Structure 1
Amino acid sequence: MHGRQGHSNEPIRVTAWVRGKVQEVGFRWWTRARALEIGLTGYASNLGDGRVQVVAEGLPADCERLLALLRGPDTPGSVTGVTEIWTATGDGYEGFAIR
């Protein structure tokens, strides 16, 4: 799909930058709840330019599910765009944090 590497049963990391009215609307907490439901680890953090950065690690199909939710109609605030890159997993995360 989006340039993901490896086999579908191997964990991968997706880093997404979410644009729009996504700060001060509970967006990071909503993202954390969805990620935990799916079984992903990582974090969501506000950036100084008004975007939210979401880093998630897990199976590619699960990462795709989170991206679909980020682009979907049920997010808090108003998402105008999502840009993502796929990379190999790093050292791993404990749970899903708000930063």
Structure 2
Amino acid sequence: MSKKRSFHHESLQKPDQISCILNALVEGFEQGTIKLDDGSGKIKLKPEGLLNLDLLASKEAGVNRLSIKISWRDQNCKHEPADKSSLKIYGG
């Protein structure tokens, strides 16, 4: 049985700083390794196979929220992806 390890980071960032973080994540997905380190904790992830994408966006009383959750299994599972409608994201 594998030991559970986790990493959590929360901070205030400007939009261009968030863009740099997201670009680093994109590079990690493309290269197959994502390393997270903020000085108080670190973790190394290796995305492979089919990944589950969960997006949630909301606006309420002047508070905007965008949550992005991506998950996958380490072993190669032979599950077929759910047939979902095509996602469209526009920036700007």
Common fold by TM > 0.5: no
Larger helix proportion, structure 1 or 2? 1
TM-score (normalizing by structure 1): 0.28
Return the index of the structure with the highest Cα Rg.
Answer: 2
Larger strand proportion, structure 1 or 2? 1
Greater RCO structure (CA 8 Å; 6+ sep) = 1
